[in-house]
Amino acid sequence: MTPSATKIDVVHVVVPARNEEALLPRCLDSIEVAGSLLQAEQPDIEISVCVVLDGCTDRSEELVRQRPSIRGLTIDSCSAGAARRHGLDDVARRTPRRSRHTTWVANTDADTLVPPHWLTAQVALAAAGIQLVVGTVVPDADDLAAAVLAEWWARHDLGESHPHVHGANLGFTLGAYLTVGGYRSVREHEDVTLVRALRDAGVPWRATDTTRVLTSGRRSDRTPGGFGRYLHHLARATTVGGIAATGAPS
């Protein structure tokens, strides 16, 4: 069955941030460019950007305050999943019930650069009836040794209908999100859990490489099963001369 087209009226971008003063400005700059391109093409669409400052002890909050057009929310959960949910709860409170299915939410992370067409591509898919867009993520080559980067590419097929899920590159209608109860209160993989719930509910969806984003290649382990931790294991395995059987985060 062909999905029904959706005319998006409002786009909300939600960005969790925890001590990201070094990378947050470039992330917000890239979102601003993407928003400007969308409004140039569709000036009737309203765009809002929200940064959820989660347990920040650096200058991240100050950097957000310097951008009056960006909404800053402060929590202290030290959990990306909780921060994403907090941002979505705020969006839901400010959205009339009748507008939930014409409201699009684009998700990314504070250490990520989105391409200029990031929002226009998602809105175009919504116009074709898609209510969930699962995008791809690639690590910044400047942050990884050549051997580690090569191994990462060898393990990842980023074509259309790819199998990966990353909270740094998700988009969906607010109505679909609320129908399945939103992000779960889990320590990690809240993105995978949400996508699975949306797919199980029969939400029209698309896994695509057309909205590919660039994320930090740092190897910190903020969550045991996160992207940074995976890169850490990949770097260690590559350095010792053998690739361990460490699965990439979904």
Task: Give the model confidence (pLDDT) of 37-95 as tens digits.
Answer: 999 999 999 999 999 999 999 999 999 999 999 999 999 998 989 999 999 999 999 99
Residue 108 domain flag: yes
Each residue's pLDDT, cut to its tens digit, for the chain (250 residues) gives 456 788 999 999 999 999 999 999 999 999 999 999 999 999 999 999 999 999 999 999 999 999 999 999 999 998 989 999 999 999 999 999 999 999 999 999 999 999 999 999 999 999 999 999 999 999 999 988 888 888 888 888 899 999 999 999 999 999 999 999 999 877 788 999 999 999 999 999 999 999 999 999 765 555 555 566 666 565 666 664 543 333 344 4
Half-sphere exposure of 218 (CA within 13 A, CB side): 11
Residue 246 domain flag: no
Please give the helix or strand (H or E) that residue 103 lies within, else none: strand 103-107
Residue 4 domain flag: no
Per the structure, the complete domain to which residue 36 belongs is given by 10-239
Residue 244 domain flag: no
Residue 2 domain flag: no
**What total of structural domains would you count in the chain?**
1
Query: Which 3-state string (H, E, C) describes 124-183?
Result: HHHHCCCCEEECCEEECHHHCCHHHHHHHHHHCCCCCCCCCCCHHHEEEEHHHHHHCCCC
CB 188 within 8 A of CB 249: no
CB 72 within 8 A of CB 175: no
Residue 3 domain flag: no
| Amino acid identity at 202 | G
CATH code, domain carrying 187? 3.90.550.10
Residue 186 domain flag: yes
Query: Residue 196 class from Cβ within 10 Å (0-12 exposed, 13-18 middle, 19+ buried)?
Result: middle
Residue 208 domain flag: yes
